[in-house]
Amino acid sequence: MTTTPLKKYGGEIRKKITTRSFRLKKKRGEAITMLTAYDYPTAMAIDKAEIDSILVGDSLGMVVLGYENTLPVTMEDMLHHCKAVSRGAKNPLLIGDMPFMSYQSDVWTAVENAGRFLQEAGMDAVKLEGGRERAEAIQKMVLAGIPVMGHIGLTPQSVNTMGGFRAQGKKADQAKILVEDALILEEEGVFGIVLEAVPAQLSELISSKLRVPTIGIGAGVGCDGQVLVTHDLVGQFDKFTPKFVKQYANIHNVMQEAMIAFRQDVNQKDFPSDAHSIFMKDEEWELLMAELDK
């Protein structure tokens, strides 16, 4: 018996998505959708779009905070943004991304930090990067009641050891390690695994070997679900667009056009018009004039 909170939109009752829903979707062959969010309004829009899951990704560091990579993002940054997202979205499964050095140094620090995402920030689960080297931390988190999502392939927190943001698993020996890592993570109890920037044939193979769903980003159509960074999808981050991103809108241009129109209106005294102004009633104005004339 599940106790899943329900939320109403336009008269329609929708069910809270859980890690169990992820498993069932994979079993039924239904694709899982996931997008990133870092703030309240975006979380609301994603919820209304009936996306299954929101990842509060540490991509926050690059697309919102303006860092070159995800390494400077802290636990406090993540918790702050997770709290905003959890206030905006009720139905999707909410996953908080564990930032660099919040889980790598020792297992118990990792478990405590993972717990903060659920206890303080309203997340339903956490995600962390890495393969077999994370096995113990994942096992202890799951035993503590914290649902964990794995992330293998291109793992941006290892950008310095990988020698840049590059596709992984293109060579047979590397690919074999990724298959083994996926199976180890499943064995330790993850409820799903993000596969980032790996060849499409490899992610299809990994997906077929796992009972838990794979969520791909730059990993082809053979994954059980797909995730994109929302700022890439809506064209709000204009610094660069990875090859695997499909841009569905250009919000950056829409925002810029609106801002230019505002500047022109202000310069031409077309804004604010009467419609955007507040007026005193005539009698109050006359009273004021009389007062000032005294």
Active site residue ranges = 196
**Residue 217, interface with ligand KIV (CB under 6 A)?**
yes
Alpha helices in 148-281 (DSSP H): 159-162, 172-188, 200-209, 230-233, 251-267
Q: How far is the CB of 34 from ligand KIV (least distance, A)?
A: 8
Residue 88 or residue 258: which is nearer to ligand KIV going by CB?
Answer: 88
Residue count of the chain, please give it.
294
Residue 186 or residue 196: which is nearer to ligand KIV going by CB?
Answer: 196
**Residue 185, interface with ligand KIV (CB under 6 A)?**
no
The percent of the chain in helix, strand and coil, each rounded to the nearest 5, is 45, 15, 40
Q: How far is the CB of 285 from ligand KIV (least distance, A)?
A: 55
Question: What type of residue sits at position 255?
Answer: M
Q: How far is the CB of 270 from ligand KIV (least distance, A)?
A: 41
Stretch that binds ligand KIV, among 8-16, 52-60, 88-96, 274-282 (CB under 6 A): 52-60
Stretch that binds ligand KIV, among 56-64, 115-123, 159-167, 231-239 (CB under 6 A): 56-64
Alpha-carbon distance 20 to 280, whole Å? 59
**Residue 36, interface with ligand KIV (CB under 6 A)?**
yes
Helix (H, G, I), strand (E, B) or coil at 208: helix
Q: How far is the CB of 218 from ligand KIV (least distance, A)?
A: 9
**Residue 227, interface with ligand KIV (CB under 6 A)?**
yes
Enter the DSSP assignment of 247.
P
**Residue 58, interface with ligand KIV (CB under 6 A)?**
yes
Q: How far is the CB of 73 from ligand KIV (least distance, A)?
A: 9
Q: How far is the CB of 33 from ligand KIV (least distance, A)?
A: 13
Measured in degrees and rounded to the nearest 5, phi and psi for residue 129 equal -95, 145
- Helices 200-209/172-188 angle, 10° precision: 30
**Residue 195, interface with ligand KIV (CB under 6 A)?**
no
**Residue 51, interface with ligand KIV (CB under 6 A)?**
no
Answer for the pair 56, 96: CB distance below 8 angstroms, yes or no: yes
Alpha-carbon distance 197 to 209, whole Å? 19
Q: Is 287 left (phi over 0), alpha (psi -120 to 50) or beta?
A: alpha
CA atoms 35, 40, 46, 52: torsion sign: positive
Residue 146 or residue 223: which is nearer to ligand KIV going by CB?
Answer: 223
Alpha-carbon distance 100 to 66, whole Å? 16
CA atoms 76, 82, 83, 84: torsion sign: positive
- Nearest-CB residue for ligand KIV: 57
Which of 37, 111, 194, 234 lies at the binding interface for ligand KIV (CB under 6 A)? 194
Contacting ligand KIV within 196-215 (CB under 6 A)? 196
Size of the site for ligand KIV (CB under 6 A): 12
Residues of the shown chain interacting with ligand KIV in the complex, contacts defined by CB under 6 A: 36, 55, 57-59, 97, 151, 194, 196, 217, 227, 229
